[in-house]
Amino acid sequence: MEIEQLEKVASQVRRDIVRMVHGCQSGHPGGSLGCTDLLVALYFERMKLKEQDGKVVFDMDGKDEDLFFLSNGHISPVWYSVLARKGYFPVSELATFRKLNSRLQGHPTTHEHLEGIRIASGSLGQGLSVALGAATAKKLNNDKGIVYVLMGDGEQQEGQVWEAATFAPHHQVDNLIAFIDLNGQQIDGPTVKVMNNRDLGAKYEAFGWEVISIEEGNDMAAVLKGLYEAKGRLGHGRPIMVLLHTGMGYGVDFMMGSHKWHGVAPNDEQLAAALAQLDETLGDY
Amino acid sequence: MKKYTFTEKKDTRSGFGAGMHVLGQQNPNVVALCADLVGSLKLEPFIKENPERFIQCGISEANMIGLSAGLTIGGKIPFATTFANFATGRVYDQIRQSVAYSNKNVKICASHAGLTLGEDGATHQILEDIGMMKMLPGMTVINPCDYNQTKAATIAIAEYDGPVYLRFGRPVIPIFTDADQKFEIGKAWMVNEGTDVSIFATGHMVWEAIQAGEILEAEGINAEIINIHTIKPLDEEAILKSIEKTGCVVTAEEHNRIGGLGDSVAQVIVKNKLVPQEYVAVNDSFGESGTPAQLLEKYGLDAKHIVEAAKRAIARK
């Protein structure tokens, strides 16, 4: 897909995010908006996905395709929107987000058999381990698919992340690309104030990872280039860590750069102000 | 009383290791994971024959549970192994979210459960694991009674699709079940038919219950003894059939009296037919260092205590 088309998809996904969170008056718009460009680039351009008659199809085992895991499950709105826009389930279902009897639970789950989702996440720190397991299964199956996993920067405060970080280079899991969404914010405030992670790149390098940075994580061209570079480094005995610099709330001016929009829904007025900044490119759900 | 004899004593963890050895040869999807306790879990024969299907996790149990959940995506059947304390309490949230809620085909296999790991003491003697695991929706909880049954259970859970907690231990105890038994998940095993009291026992306590049955018989009491190797799903039919006949119950488990087999049986009794029940279990305390026999005696879990509990239950009829 051309960059311009990908940007159009991203604009619609951002509209979906804001509308979904407004629709149930809960959820996490900030991180979702910040990671929109990454997820659109992955699903609409970089990932090899299983298709039948030009449509994506889902099965749990995901053999011979690339897999994506969302460890910071609270940014479910962006994932749900991207999955629906990609064709995994009807976009109309986005209207059910966080409502009773919905498959679109507040945090992603396999429990409701939503196509595209292979593990529950929400309790932080677990996704990297799961992704490493899936990547190991691919190796055992002689499956050339790539495993992608996204974590938050606040999430790096969880101890389990560092168990997994130690495991991956030791076992040479080199079919995996992990991302940290470096937006510098978490619920209680800026990450440097709440619990300073310090130099995450240096930490992962010291653990034995190949580390690259995408400085402009909300620039589609930069994201695509970074993903291309990351992919080129696979298969050399080391796991890949991509430090993705994003702006929390990117795309909606009054939500940008503040932890205050981590987990707060816009009111009617704020919704209108947000939508005025985001082009409806694919039709609202 | 049916006579149970034995020619050999072994630890149930060795039964697990023997089961894994068989699975390594029979099922190419079985993968073993361990958190730096390969010798204690008796995994050497599996690893020797299937080095590519063994994953050493180091002392990182949370990561091991996540890895196991991920391995199922792609069709593997992971057996995550360590001591019971580190396999449950330490990683409860990982099991809850990544395994149980996500309904992953992970087998959590835990050695050194209960008091009878002995000298290591309370930090390692988990007495709450059955309760924690049975509370998780969709989790199957199995606590086999001897070497042969643990081996059979290990092989059986690989055939079952869903999360399982398999609990076994360290002490060397008599082998009294058949070597070629077929293990049926959720099906209680009749050890001895009787009429005066139902003794429902699990794990190492089954052998204690058999010894108690012999003492009771000498005193003219005819005990029915049933091995509840699967605590969840519980064989309610077998329990009800037995209490219909005997009218009183003793439950025996190497676990806290809160949240274990006894409470599961009590739920069946309360719902269906009120009869007296006596618990043989640890009385809401931690353990301590000692030999297995000393600990079973001090914490009220040996055959003598089962005999006393049976008499109390009968007296309350």
Half-sphere exposure of residue B232: CA atoms within 13 angstroms, side-chain side: 26
Q: What is the mean pLDDT of residues B229-240?
A: 98
Q: Which of A94, A169, A171, A161 is nearest to A136 (CA)?
A: A171
Closest in B63, B96, B98 to A119, CB measured: B98
What is the separation of C-alpha B58 from the centre of its chain, rounded to a whole number of angstroms? 25
Instruction: Answer yes or no: is A93 within a domain.
Output: yes
* Contacts B161 to A, Cβ<8 Å: none
Provide the whole-model pTM. 0.97
User: Where is A71: in which H helix or E strand?
Assistant: none
Cβ–Cβ under 8 Å, residues B30 and B19 = no
Distance from CA of B36 to the nearest CA of A (A): 13
Taking an 8 Å cut-off on Cβ atoms, the answer to whether A135 and B65 are in contact is no
Nearest CA in chain A to B90: A160
Single out the residue in B174, B197, B215 at which a domain terminates: B174
Q: Which 30-69 residues of chain B touch chain A by CB within 8 A?
A: 31, 52-53, 55, 57-58, 60, 62-69
Can you tell me the distance from the alpha carbon of A281 to that of A15, in angstroms, rounded to the nearest whole number?
9
pLDDT of residue A122: 97
Taking an 8 Å cut-off on Cβ atoms, the answer to whether B31 and A140 are in contact is yes
Single out the residue in B126, B144, B174 at which a domain terminates: B174
Cα-based distances in Å from B94 to A193, A234, B100: 28, 28, 9
Can you tell me the distance from the alpha carbon of B258 to that of B239, in angstroms, rounded to the nearest whole number?
19
Distance from CA of B99 to the nearest CA of A (A): 9
Interface test with A, best of B33, B36, B97, B101 (most A CBs within 10 A): B97
Cβ–Cβ under 8 Å, residues B290 and B298 = yes
pLDDT of residue A201: 98
Taking an 8 Å cut-off on Cβ atoms, the answer to whether B62 and A129 are in contact is yes
Q: Which two tokens stand for residue B5?
A: 């004899």
Q: Which domain holds residue B167?
A: 9-174
Minimum mean pLDDT among A5-9, A206-210, B4-8: which range?
B4-8
Taking an 8 Å cut-off on Cβ atoms, the answer to whether B69 and A130 are in contact is yes
A30 pLDDT exceeds 90?
Answer: yes
Instruction: Answer yes or no: is B2 within a domain.
Output: no
DSSP bridge pairs for A56? A51
Residues B123, B204: one domain? no
Can you tell me the distance from the alpha carbon of A195 to that of B183, in angstroms, rounded to the nearest whole number?
51
Instruction: Answer yes or no: is A281 within a domain.
Output: no
Q: What's the complex ipTM? A: 0.97
Can you tell me the distance from the alpha carbon of B135 to that of B262, in angstroms, rounded to the nearest whole number?
14
Instruction: Answer yes or no: is A280 within a domain.
Output: no
Q: How many residues are given for chain B? A: 317
Q: What is the mean pLDDT of residues A214-243?
A: 98
* Contacts B55 to A, Cβ<8 Å: 136, 171
Cβ–Cβ under 8 Å, residues A242 and A230 = yes
pLDDT of residue A259: 86
Q: Which of B26, B143, B115, B125 is nearest to B85 (CA)?
A: B125
Can you tell me the distance from the alpha carbon of B149 to that of B19, in angstroms, rounded to the nearest whole number?
10
Residues B41, B13: one domain? yes
Cβ–Cβ under 8 Å, residues A207 and A165 = yes
Nearest CA in chain A to B52: A140
**Amino acid at position B138, single letter:** G
Let me know if B284 is exposed, middle or buried by CB neighbors in 10 A (0-12, 13-18, 19+).
exposed
* Contacts B66 to A, Cβ<8 Å: 126-130, 132-133, 160, 164
Residues B222, B89: one domain? no
- What is the C-alpha radius of gyration for chain A, rounded to an integer number of angstroms? 18
B227 pLDDT exceeds 90?
Answer: yes
B271 pLDDT exceeds 90?
Answer: yes
Domain count, chain A: 1
B194 pLDDT exceeds 90?
Answer: yes
Residues B160, B194: one domain? no
B228 pLDDT exceeds 90?
Answer: yes
The CATH number that applies at residue A180 is 3.40.50.970
Interface test with B, best of A65, A113, A167, A170 (most B CBs within 10 A): A167
A258 pLDDT exceeds 90?
Answer: no
* Contacts B95 to A, Cβ<8 Å: none
Taking an 8 Å cut-off on Cβ atoms, the answer to whether B73 and A118 are in contact is yes
Single out the residue in B112, B147, B174 at which a domain terminates: B174
Closest in A110, A133, A171 to B66, CB measured: A133
Instruction: Answer yes or no: is A28 within a domain.
Output: yes
Q: Which of A93, A83, A104 is nearest to A40 (CA)?
A: A83
Cβ–Cβ under 8 Å, residues A7 and A220 = yes
Q: Which two tokens stand for residue A242?
A: 């991509």
The CATH number that applies at residue B236 is 3.40.50.920
B31 pLDDT exceeds 90?
Answer: yes
Instruction: Answer yes or no: is B183 within a domain.
Output: no
Count Cβ atoms below 10 Å from residue B93 Cβ, excluding itself: 15
Taking an 8 Å cut-off on Cβ atoms, the answer to whether B66 and A134 are in contact is no
Closest in B65, B71, B93 to A136, CB measured: B71
Percentage of chain A with pLDDT > 90?
Answer: 98
Instruction: Answer yes or no: is B45 within a domain.
Output: yes
pLDDT of residue A257: 84
Closest in B67, B76, B96 to A132, CB measured: B67
Question: Which residues are within 8 A (CB) of A157 and not within 5 positions of it... i.e. 6 or more apart?
Answer: A195, A197
Instruction: Answer yes or no: is B209 within a domain.
Output: yes
Instruction: Answer yes or no: is A284 within a domain.
Output: no
pLDDT digits (tens, 9 = 90+) for A172-189: 999 999 999 999 999 999
The CATH number that applies at residue B62 is 3.40.50.970
φ/ψ of residue B62, rounded to 5: -60, -45
Q: Which domain holds residue A227?
A: 3-275
Q: Which two tokens stand for residue A45?
A: 């351009």
The DSSP result for B191-223, as a single string, is: EE--SSEEEEE-TTHHHHHHHHHHHHHHTT--E
Q: Give the residue numbers in A contacting B (CB under 8 Å), as ranges.
A: 60-63, 67, 109-111, 118-123, 125-138, 140-141, 143, 159-160, 163-164, 166-167, 170-171
pLDDT digits (tens, 9 = 90+) for B209-223: 999 999 999 999 999
3-state secondary structure B165-192: EEECCCCEEECCCCCCCCCCCCCCEEEE
- Give the pLDDT band of residue A102 (cuts 50, 70, 90): very high
Residues B47, B169: one domain? yes
Let me know if A52 is exposed, middle or buried by CB neighbors in 10 A (0-12, 13-18, 19+).
exposed
Taking an 8 Å cut-off on Cβ atoms, the answer to whether B55 and A171 are in contact is yes
Taking an 8 Å cut-off on Cβ atoms, the answer to whether B74 and A63 are in contact is yes
Instruction: Answer yes or no: is B131 within a domain.
Output: yes
- Give the pLDDT band of residue A110 (cuts 50, 70, 90): very high
Can you tell me the distance from the alpha carbon of B37 to that of B17, in angstroms, rounded to the nearest whole number?
12
Percentage of chain A with pLDDT > 70?
Answer: 100
Nearest CA in chain B to A67: B73
Nearest CA in chain A to B95: A126
pLDDT of residue B71: 98
State whether residue A181 is helix, strand or coil. Answer: strand
Taking an 8 Å cut-off on Cβ atoms, the answer to whether A60 and B73 are in contact is yes
Instruction: Answer yes or no: is A100 within a domain.
Output: yes
What does pLDDT average to over chain A?
97
Minimum mean pLDDT among A19-23, A256-260, B234-238, B299-303: which range?
A256-260
Domain count, chain B: 2
- Catalytic positions of B, please? 61
Residues B301, B154: one domain? no
- Give the pLDDT band of residue B202 (cuts 50, 70, 90): very high
pLDDT digits (tens, 9 = 90+) for A128-140: 999 999 999 999 9
Residue B93 forms contact with A (CB below 8 Å)? yes
